Amino acid sequence: MQGATSPSDVHDEGGAPPGLSRRRLLLNSGISLVGLLASSVALKSAFAADEGASMLPVAKDVLARFMAFSRLATGHDSIADELGGRLYQALVEQDKKFADNLTALTALVQAKGFRDVESLEAALKDNAPLHGALMSVIRAWYSGVVAEGTNATVYAFEAALMYQPARDAVVIPTYAYNGPDYWVAEPPAVDAMPRF
Amino acid sequence: MVVQSLFERLGSPKKNPLKLAFLTIASAVIALPLAAAEHPAAVSTKDDLVSRGQYLSVAADCAACHTDPAGGQPFAGGYAIQSPMGKIFSTNITPSKQFGIGNYSRDEFAKAVREGVRADGGHLYPAMPYASYSMLTDADIDALYAYFMKAVKPVEKASPETKLPFPFNVRASMIGWNALFLGKDRFTADKAKDDQWNRGKYLVEGLAHCAECHTPRNALMAPNQSAAFAGGQVGSWYAPNITSDKLSGIGGWTDEELFSYLKTGKAGDKSRAAGPMAEAVEHSFQHLSDDDIKAMVAYLRTVPAIRDAGQTEANFVHGTAGTDVLKLRGVRKLTHEITDMSDGAQLYIAACASCHQPDGLGTKDKFYPALVNNTTTGQPNPTDLIAAILFGVKREVGGRETLMPGFGADSLVQRLSDEQVAAIANHVLQQFGNKQAKVTPADVATVRAGGPTPLIAWLANPFVLGVIGLVGLGVIVAAFRFIRRRKQAR
> Tell me: the pLDDT tens digits for B460-487?
777 777 787 778 777 777 777 777 777 7
Q: Cβ atoms within 10 A of the Cβ of B1, count? A: 6
Residue A38: pLDDT band (50, 70, 90) is: low
Tell me how far apart the alpha carbons of residues B472 and B81 are, in angstroms, rounded to a whole number.
33
Q: Indicate if the pLDDT at residue A2 is higher than 90.
A: no
Closest Cα in chain B, distance from residue A155 (Å):
5
For the whole model, what pTM was predicted? 0.80
User: Which range in A16-25, A181-190, B37-46, B72-81 is most confidently predicted, on average pLDDT?
Assistant: B72-81
Q: What is the reported pLDDT for B371?
A: 98
Closest Cα in chain B, distance from residue A116 (Å):
26
Convert the pLDDT of each residue in B167-226 to its tens digit.
Answer: 888 888 899 888 888 888 899 999 999 999 999 999 999 999 999 999 999 988 899 999
Q: What residue segments make up the domains of chain A, in order of their start?
A: 60-157
User: Which range in A167-171, B4-8, B356-360 is most confidently predicted, on average pLDDT?
Assistant: B356-360
B1, B5, B12, B24, B391 from B8: Cα distances, Å:
11, 5, 7, 14, 69
Give the residue from B325, B327, B341 with the most A CB atoms within 10 Å of its CB, the best one to mutate: B327
Q: What angle do CA B162, B168, B172 make, to 5 degrees?
A: 95
Closest Cα in chain A, distance from residue B419 (Å):
18
SS3 assignment for chain B: CHHHHHHHHHCCHHHCHHHHHHHHHHHHHHHHHHHHHHCHHHCCHHHHHHHHHHHHHHHCCHHHHHECCCCCCCCCECCEEEECCEEEECCCCCCCCCCCCCCCCHHHHHHHHHHCECCCCCECCCCCCHHHHCCCCHHHHHHHHHHHHHCCCCCCCCCCCCCCCCCCCCCCHHHHHHHHHCCCCCCCCCCCCCHHHHHHHHHHHHHCCCHHHHCCECCCCCECHHHCCCCEEECCEEECCCCCCCCCCCCCCCHHHHHHHHHHCEECCCEECCHHHHHHHHHCHHHCCHHHHHHHHHHHCCCCCCCCCCCCCCCCCCCCCCCHHHHHCCCCCCCCCCCCCCCHHHHHHHHCHHHHCCCCCCCCCCCCCCCCCCHHHHCCCCHHHHHHHHHCEEEEECCEEEEECCCCCCCCCCCCCHHHHHHHHHHHHHHCCCCCCCCCHHHHHHHHCCCCCCHHHHHCCHHHHHHHHHHHHHHHHHHHHHHHHHHHHC
Closest Cα in chain A, distance from residue B363 (Å):
5
Convert the pLDDT of each residue in B272-312 to its tens digit.
Answer: 999 999 999 999 999 999 999 999 999 999 999 999 999 99
Query: Which chain B residue is nearest to residue A85, measuring alpha carbons?
Result: B327
| Contact criterion met (CB < 8 Å) for A177 and B346 | no
Q: Indicate if the pLDDT at residue B139 is higher than 80.
A: yes
Q: Indicate if the pLDDT at residue A20 is higher than 90.
A: no
Judged by a CB distance cut-off of 8 A, whether residue B172 touches chain A is no
Convert the pLDDT of each residue in A145-174 to its tens digit.
Answer: 999 998 899 999 999 999 999 888 888 888
| Contact criterion met (CB < 8 Å) for A86 and B332 | no
- For residue B368, list chain A residues with Cβ-Cβ distance below 8 A: 176, 179
Q: What is the reported pLDDT for B165?
A: 84
| Contact criterion met (CB < 8 Å) for A154 and B343 | no
Judged by a CB distance cut-off of 8 A, whether residue B192 touches chain A is no
Give the residue from A88, A163, A177, A181 with the most B CB atoms within 10 Å of its CB, the best one to mutate: A177
Q: What is the reported pLDDT for A36?
A: 52
Residue A133 amino acid letter: A
Rounded to a whole number, what is the distance in angstroms from the first to the last CA of chain A?
A: 52
Q: Indicate if the pLDDT at residue A194 is higher than 70.
A: yes
Q: What is the reported pLDDT for B480?
A: 76
Query: Which chain B residue is nearest to residue A86, measuring alpha carbons?
Result: B327
Judged by a CB distance cut-off of 8 A, whether residue B153 touches chain A is no
Q: What is the reported pLDDT for B33?
A: 44
Q: What is the reported pLDDT for A42?
A: 47
Residue A146 amino acid letter: V
Is the pLDDT higher at B360 or at B165? B360
> For A22-31, A115-124, B100-109, B144-153, which range has the lowest pLDDT when averaged over its residues?
A22-31
Residue B38: pLDDT band (50, 70, 90) is: very low
- For residue A83, list chain B residues with Cβ-Cβ distance below 8 A: 326
CB B423, CB B342: distance < 8 Å: yes
The mean pLDDT of chain B is: 89
Q: Which of A150, A140, A161 shows the shortest CA–CA distance to A85?
A: A140
Q: What is the reported pLDDT for B13?
A: 41
Q: Which of B463, B120, B280, B367 shows the shortest CA–CA distance to A176?
A: B367
- For residue B343, list chain A residues with Cβ-Cβ distance below 8 A: 51
- For residue A155, list chain B residues with Cβ-Cβ distance below 8 A: 329-330
ipTM exceeding 0.90?
A: no
The mean pLDDT of chain A is: 80
Tell me how far apart the alpha carbons of residues A122 and B250 are, in angstroms, rounded to a whole number.
62
Tell me how far apart the alpha carbons of residues B326 and B335 are, in angstroms, rounded to a whole number.
19
A32, B325, B327, B423, B439 from B358: Cα distances, Å:
44, 6, 12, 16, 21
Judged by a CB distance cut-off of 8 A, whether residue A180 touches chain B is yes
User: For chain B, what percent of residues have pLDDT higher than 90?
Assistant: 73
Tell me how far apart the alpha carbons of residues B74 and B364 are, in angstroms, rounded to a whole number.
39
User: Which range in B11-25, B38-52, B369-383 is most confidently predicted, on average pLDDT?
Assistant: B369-383
Q: Indicate if the pLDDT at residue A62 is higher than 60.
A: yes
Judged by a CB distance cut-off of 8 A, whether residue A178 touches chain B is yes
- Which residue of B326, B346, B363 is in closest CB contact with A82? B326
Convert the pLDDT of each residue in B415-462 to its tens digit.
Answer: 999 999 999 999 999 999 999 999 999 999 999 999 998 888 877 777
CB B43, CB B36: distance < 8 Å: yes
Judged by a CB distance cut-off of 8 A, whether residue A158 touches chain B is yes
Mean pLDDT over residues A21-35, rounded?
58
Q: What is the reported pLDDT for B297?
A: 98
- For residue B332, list chain A residues with Cβ-Cβ distance below 8 A: 51
Q: What is the reported pLDDT for B14?
A: 43
Closest Cα in chain B, distance from residue A14 (Å):
39
Q: Cβ atoms within 10 A of the Cβ of B472, count? A: 10
Evaluate the CA torsion angle A25, A28, A34, A40 in order and state its sign.
Answer: negative
Q: How many contacts does A have with B, using Cβ atoms within 8 A?
A: 57
Query: Which chain B residue is nearest to residue A141, measuring alpha carbons?
Result: B326
Residue A33: pLDDT band (50, 70, 90) is: low
> For A36-50, A115-129, B275-289, B473-487, which range has the lowest pLDDT when averaged over its residues?
A36-50
Tell me how far apart the alpha carbons of residues A41 and A50 are, in angstroms, rounded to a whole number.
14
Mean pLDDT over residues B239-257, rounded?
97
Convert the pLDDT of each residue in B66-82 to its tens digit.
Answer: 999 989 999 999 999 98
- Which residue of A153, A158, A178 is in closest CB contact with B358? A158
